[in-house]
Amino acid sequence: MKIDPNKRLFVADICNTLFNINTTFGFIDFYLKQRKSYVRSVAFRFLVAKWSPLFYILIIANKLSGKDWHKKMALRLLKGEAKSDLYQEAEKFYTNKLCHLQIEPCYRLLEQAQQNGEKIVLLSSSIDPVVYGISKAIGAEYSSTEIAYDKERCAGFVLRELSGNKDKILSDFSGFSSITVMTDNFSDKRLLEKAHIRYVVLNHPGDRKKWRGLEANFIEL
């Protein structure tokens, strides 16, 4: 494989790395409000609000099954929505909300990489409309968790989950002399191990312990 010394790759996670929000949940909340789907908006709050007993029941279900039941059930609230509507609203979500929730030290690193001519790729377990909207706004390529669609309408479940599998996507990008990865997710450890330059985002003081043994630049928030 020929390595081009002028080709450099910058790979970034999104949620709690570039933006201080769970972008899948943030988008679903935004979308349902934009569509004035009040019943579904209330149902969504019961899924994700810490005052809701259902929130804690699903936490137990997550631990027992190894699945993200909050995400699975939240996506059901989008069932039947047109793919085109989801993508259009995702662009508005970025403009109206996400751009105000940037995590400055991380976002500056991404902007510096762009200015230096590095190829920017977003690898996120957030859903495809959201990651599409962000990548379009900042001029990046992306790979994301993909919603299943039936006749161009949301089927209400995930077709492909990217969480824990980002290192496999990285193999699609070859010939780079330098690969930088920035993330806060421990599930991205294999991805980080393939990078030449590593940035690990620490959202909580105790997070550093779980990264013991990994050589990286730590960004404490």
Q: What is the pLDDT of residues 140-196, one digit of tens each?
A: 999 999 999 999 999 999 999 999 889 999 888 888 999 999 999 999 999 999 999
Q: How far apart are CA 106 and CA 200, in angstroms?
A: 10
Dist CA 135 CA 78 (whole Å): 22
**Mean pLDDT calculated for residue range 86-102:** 97
Q: What span, in angstroms and rounded, lies between the C-alpha atoms of 119 and 113?
A: 8
C-alpha 39/C-alpha 49 separation (Å) is 15
DSSP lists the bridge partners of residue 202 as: 220
pTM: 0.93
Q: Output the pLDDT for position 171.
A: 82
Parallel/antiparallel/unpaired status of strands 141-150 and 119-127: parallel
Between the alpha carbon of residue 32 and those of residues 47, 82, 113, 173, the distances in Å are 14, 13, 35, 36
- List pLDDT tens digits, range 99-130: 999 999 999 999 999 999 999 999 999 999 99
Domain layout of the chain by residue ranges: 4-220
**4-220 sits in which CATH class?**
alpha beta
- Helix (H) or strand (E) run with residue 155 in it: strand 153-160
